[in-house]
Amino acid sequence: MSQSSTPKIALVGNPNSGKSSLFNHLTGLNQKIGNFPGVTVDKKTGFCQLNKTTRAEIIDLPGTYSIYPNSTDEKIVFDILGNRSNPLHPDMVVVIVDASNFKRNLLLFTQIRDLNIPVVLALNMMDIVEKTGLSIDAKKLAERLQVPVVPTRARKGTGIDKLKEVLAQVKPNGQVKPIFDARNHCGDAIDEVKRNFNIEEDYVAYQMLQQYSINDSISDRDKLVLGEIAIKYDFKKDDIRRKETLERYAAINHVIDAAVKENFAYLPKEWTKKLDGLFTHKIWGYAIFLFILFLIFQSIFAWATVPMDIIDLTFSELSVALKNVLPAGALTNLLTEGIIPGIGGIVIFIPQIAILFAFISVLEETGYMSRVVFLMDKIMRKFGLNGKSVVPLISGVACAIPAIMATRTIENWKERLITIFVTPFMSCSARLPVYTILIALIIPDEPVLGILNLQGLALMGMYLLGFLAAILSAAAMKLILKTKERSFLVMELPTYKVPRWKNVGMTMFEKSKTFVLEAGKIILAISVVLWVLASYGPGDEMEMAEQRITAQYDVSQLSDVEFGNKVDAYKLEHSYAGIFGKAIEPAIEPLGYDWKIGIAIITSFAAREVFVGTMATIYSIGGVEDEGTIKGRMRNEINPKTGEPRYTFAAGFSLLVFYAFAMQCMSTLAIVYRETKGWKWPILQFTYMTAVAYLSALLVFQVFK
């Protein structure tokens, strides 16, 4: 800038775009830290010698996603950039754009540019962009945006000299054509604001109208004036803002088309057209999607069995081995009966999760998933969901935790919340062992139509049941939840590509890691609590177990194993867990359950897969978790009141339905807490799902008994 005084340069950008790194490189040790007036937000200023003659004052503004003030930090940015009389108002702005998150970062840039302050765009994180197989053409970008563009790597300091050189030459703006011309939507109101407040820029006046009710740095008197203008010209705040976002993204997409190149294998354009005709076809589209889903589930169950068995075996052998090596005692028991099986219970789901996400990420990488989103959007919308809800719902079949995290792509708050709320109804892999054992117990192993199998059909029925519960609950929530925010699907269909296998691998790894860390913490903690509840009890019944069994049975007739089993079962009955089980018996009797099932329900409230292990202990199998034997014991179990088997069709079916619907997963609740930032939704979800489970199980038992 050819000014003789020291020009002020403000650094603006999304949080983590590299502002502070750039600031440090520009100013070196020549900086000082203070506060912005009136608020405790760090204000960093410093000086930078741009060239031999020009020295500039640099100010590092707080990170912001948009000009609209959603936080104190963002308010500061608007107050400084929008108000010419603010002592910190800059002569020019450097917008730092995280190029690896190009689209979202450019949104802020387009807003800043419309404030009509001279702007330079620093295209940061170019090293990351290059790694992902993209390239951004800075020259084309500069042409399209009509501002100087400098590629930088702020962490290393690359591009800083060039940036200084460009900054030294920046001239004051003439009138540039705005990217979003607010004048097209509310020109008269803007003119009146400009007259009243002595503002020069259209976009600043427009922002005053947008913000006056929420921005407390606007005085009460000014607020009144702005309010009157808004009413006089019927300024529809949300409507216009929606149009603004659309116009900005349209402009950004144009820029991206011109300046961003993807360096990977494309299908030719004609192919894309033909494939789209097929994949989004009114009938074939759905048929193909269903077929792909079918293939995915077949593969998950076919491929995951072997690694899952290996993991299972490894952990149980580890337990046995440690038990033999370590001195006997409570600590050893906690480790071998609580902690190690607890960790094993988490790790065992990794193969299914990894395989599922491999498929999902291939579908996303190739571009097919966008077609599914497009295809399903209309249907999902009827149920209060969104085309993008398809991915979380499918992922929910492996595990609700990564599935709920995948809802972050849904922009509309209500639709995202509904998706989060209903996803745990999808039958996750933790329900599978419970389904397997109960179905084997109550459904005969008979062929149907020659190729299918009755038990297999029943299993499929359980998955369908979960899906129906999800969809219907969503529809109910759509009616209950009120929101003004309307959503629209804005997306372009990308061209088909060959997937980048590195990304597929990364997704598999990331999702599995998140699952292990997030679910792991909670499952582990709960395993320990459960172990304590099942290993200790009031009074001295626990210590007396051996003697009680000796008194009750003819010990000479029992093998060592049988004796041990009887002791374990006796201990569990008299443990705290057993006492809880008995306490809830009156509540679950109408569902067809007894206190033993009560224990299993209580223990599996932490995580469903605990059910089978608890059953194994209750029916005194001891250490060997052989499914066949548990099944045998469960089949022989007699209901003392009726003299009939405990697991009648009605009781077994009722239990199946209970497990299909109940929210028995602490980890999911923890994730919902994190994603919705509060306890309201997880508590509602827990209450609702438990109520649905209880009532359906009650209905099933009373109808079929």
- Contact residues toward ligand GDP (CB under 6 A) are 13, 15-21, 63, 124-125, 127-128, 153-155
Judged by CB under 5 A, the residue of 17, 20, 493, 560 near Mg ion is 20
By beta-carbon proximity to ligand GDP, the closer residue of 158 and 639 is 158
Which tokens belong to 529?
């609590």
Q: Least separation, in Å, of the C-beta of 1 and ligand GDP?
A: 24
By beta-carbon proximity to ligand GDP, the closer residue of 42 and 626 is 42
By beta-carbon proximity to ligand GDP, the closer residue of 19 and 566 is 19
Q: What residue has token string 């989060």? A: 420
The per-residue DSSP string of 183-204 comes to: HHHHHHHHHHHHHHHT---HHH
Q: Least separation, in Å, of the C-beta of 24 and Mg ion?
A: 10
Q: Least separation, in Å, of the C-beta of 111 and ligand GDP?
A: 17
By beta-carbon proximity to ligand GDP, the closer residue of 164 and 185 is 164
User: Residue 639: is it exposed, middle or buried by C-beta count within 10 angstroms (0-12/13-18/19+)?
Assistant: middle
Residue 205 interaction partner, one of ligand GDP, Mg ion, none, beta carbon < 5-8 Å per kind = none
Strand blocks (E) in 258-391:
260-262
Any contact of residue 31 with Mg ion (CB under 5 A)? no
Residue 581 interaction partner, one of ligand GDP, Mg ion, none, beta carbon < 5-8 Å per kind = none
* Candidate ranges 13-21, 309-317, 358-366, 648-656; the one touching Mg ion (CB under 5 A): 13-21
Residue 341 interaction partner, one of Mg ion, ligand GDP, none, beta carbon < 5-8 Å per kind = none
DSSP state of 398: T
Residue 155 interaction partner, one of ligand GDP, Mg ion, none, beta carbon < 5-8 Å per kind = ligand GDP
Which tokens belong to 678?
């509060």
Which tokens belong to 2?
């050819």
Q: Least separation, in Å, of the C-beta of 162 and ligand GDP?
A: 14
Between vectors from CA 702 to CA 617 and to CA 631, what angle results, nearest 5°? 25
Between vectors from CA 690 to CA 684 and to CA 694, what angle results, nearest 5°? 145
Residue 148 interaction partner, one of Mg ion, ligand GDP, none, beta carbon < 5-8 Å per kind = none
Nearest to 30 by CA among 52, 50, 16, 14: 50
By beta-carbon proximity to Mg ion, the closer residue of 16 and 146 is 16
Are the beta carbons of 401 and 682 closer than 8 angstroms?
no
Q: What residue has token string 């410093």? A: 46
Q: Report how far residue 654's alpha carbon sits from residue 604's, in angstroms, rounded to the nearest whole number.
A: 16
* Phi, psi angles (nearest 5°) of residue 140: -60, -40
Positive or negative, the CA dihedral 158, 161, 166, 170 is positive
136 membership: H or E segment, kind and range: strand 134-136
Residue 589 interaction partner, one of ligand GDP, Mg ion, none, beta carbon < 5-8 Å per kind = none
Q: Least separation, in Å, of the C-beta of 31 and ligand GDP?
A: 13
Strand blocks (E) in 515-653:
none
Q: Least separation, in Å, of the C-beta of 675 and ligand GDP?
A: 23
By beta-carbon proximity to Mg ion, the closer residue of 15 and 277 is 15
Residue 18 interaction partner, one of ligand GDP, Mg ion, none, beta carbon < 5-8 Å per kind = ligand GDP
Q: How many Cβ atoms are within 10 Å of 361's Cβ, its own excluded?
A: 22
By beta-carbon proximity to ligand GDP, the closer residue of 122 and 526 is 122
Residue 128 interaction partner, one of ligand GDP, Mg ion, none, beta carbon < 5-8 Å per kind = ligand GDP
By beta-carbon proximity to Mg ion, the closer residue of 64 and 575 is 64
Residue 532 interaction partner, one of Mg ion, ligand GDP, none, beta carbon < 5-8 Å per kind = none
Q: Least separation, in Å, of the C-beta of 214 and ligand GDP?
A: 24
* Phi, psi angles (nearest 5°) of residue 10: -100, 140
Q: Least separation, in Å, of the C-beta of 19 and Mg ion?
A: 5
Nearest to 151 by CA among 124, 130, 129: 124
Q: Report how far residue 597's alpha carbon sits from residue 433's, in angstroms, rounded to the nearest whole number.
A: 16
Q: Least separation, in Å, of the C-beta of 28 and ligand GDP?
A: 15
44 membership: H or E segment, kind and range: strand 42-49
By beta-carbon proximity to ligand GDP, the closer residue of 84 and 103 is 103
Q: Which amino acid is at 504?
A: V
3 state SS of 46: strand
Q: Least separation, in Å, of the C-beta of 21 and Mg ion?
A: 8
By beta-carbon proximity to ligand GDP, the closer residue of 63 and 345 is 63
By beta-carbon proximity to ligand GDP, the closer residue of 99 and 692 is 99
Which tokens belong to 74?
């963002």
Determine the size of the site formed for Mg ion (CB under 5 A): 1
* Candidate ranges 17-25, 121-129, 195-203, 463-471; the one touching Mg ion (CB under 5 A): 17-25
Q: What residue has token string 């050189």? A: 165
Q: Least separation, in Å, of the C-beta of 133 and ligand GDP?
A: 16
Q: Report how far residue 407's alpha carbon sits from residue 385's, in angstroms, rounded to the nearest whole number.
A: 11
Residue 13 interaction partner, one of ligand GDP, Mg ion, none, beta carbon < 5-8 Å per kind = ligand GDP
Residue 127 interaction partner, one of ligand GDP, Mg ion, none, beta carbon < 5-8 Å per kind = ligand GDP
In whole angstroms, how far apart are CA 154 and each of 18, 23, 27, 135, 327?
6, 9, 13, 18, 57
By beta-carbon proximity to ligand GDP, the closer residue of 125 and 438 is 125
Q: Report how far residue 145's alpha carbon sits from residue 229's, in angstroms, rounded to the nearest whole number.
A: 32
Which residues contribute to the site for Mg ion (CB under 5 A)?
Answer: 20
